[in-house]
Amino acid sequence: MPSEPAEVLDPRVARTRRDVVGATSTLLLEEGWDAVTHAEVARRAGYSKATVYAHWPTRLDLIRASIEQICDVADHPAATGDLRADLRAALADFADDLTRGHLDRLLGGVVERAHGNEVVRGLRTRLYETGTSGMRAVLAAHVARRDVEPTLALLTGAVLVLVTFEGRPATTAVLDDLVDRALAATTPRSAG
């Protein structure tokens, strides 16, 4: 029995989705959750509010599509096999996303709204997993399984506090120190 052909999306619908989700992502990252309205997204994307409402009936629908797109296109530095260098590179990428990518604004909006909203809790989890996937993969390749999540939390938590709350840059020296301190508390993978 032949398989069903994949649904072909009308190019106009695909273009509308691309434009609207792109405009929402830009607005969300630049100005935050509260700035995302159907009217402003429609204006920025060049579509009518009716078109935006037809595809994304609620503001959360717009934000969810935007966060999914942001996560789908996220990339991380390629691992080289050198634990410290790869971890520093992944941590620097995370710090850069917090500062230049405005991830702190995005996380703030999600964290603020996650209590009592299952959809937003899912978005919070998706953002964390996407943002830390490079570091998680590096750690999983080199340290004992039991050390992966605690080490990840120590590293990301330290950078989050440093960059977002203290407003300090994540310099190479700071990242080296964080990585060295975190790795000193881990067991190599083969031993754990």
Distance separating alpha carbons of residues 12 and 18, to the nearest angstrom: 10
Query: Tens place of pLDDT for every residue, the chain, 192 residues?
Result: 555 555 667 888 889 999 999 999 999 988 989 999 999 999 999 999 999 999 999 999 999 999 999 999 989 999 999 999 999 999 999 998 888 867 878 888 898 999 989 999 999 999 999 989 999 999 999 999 999 999 999 999 999 999 988 989 999 999 999 999 999 999 998 854
Task: Give percent helix, percent strand, percent coil of the chain, each to the nearest 5.
Answer: 75, 0, 25
CATH of the domain at 43: 1.10.10.60
Q: Are residues 140 and 180 in the same domain?
A: yes
Domain presence at residue 5 = no
Q: Are residues 33 and 96 in the same domain?
A: no
Domain presence at residue 58 = yes
Q: Are residues 85 and 173 in the same domain?
A: yes
Q: Are residues 90 and 175 in the same domain?
A: yes
DSSP 82: -
Domain presence at residue 167 = yes
pLDDT of residue 5: 52
Structural domain boundaries, residue 124: 76-191
Domain boundary among 70, 88, 120: 70
Domain presence at residue 64 = yes
pLDDT of residue 11: 87
Domain presence at residue 89 = yes
Q: Are residues 85 and 34 in the same domain?
A: no
Domain presence at residue 4 = no
Q: Are residues 166 and 113 in the same domain?
A: yes
Q: Are residues 64 and 148 in the same domain?
A: no
pLDDT of residue 191: 57
Distance separating alpha carbons of residues 58 and 27, to the nearest angstrom: 16
Q: Are residues 94 and 183 in the same domain?
A: yes
Domain boundary among 21, 50, 70: 70
Distance separating alpha carbons of residues 19 and 152, to the nearest angstrom: 35
CATH of the domain at 177: 1.10.357
Q: How many domains does the chain have?
A: 2
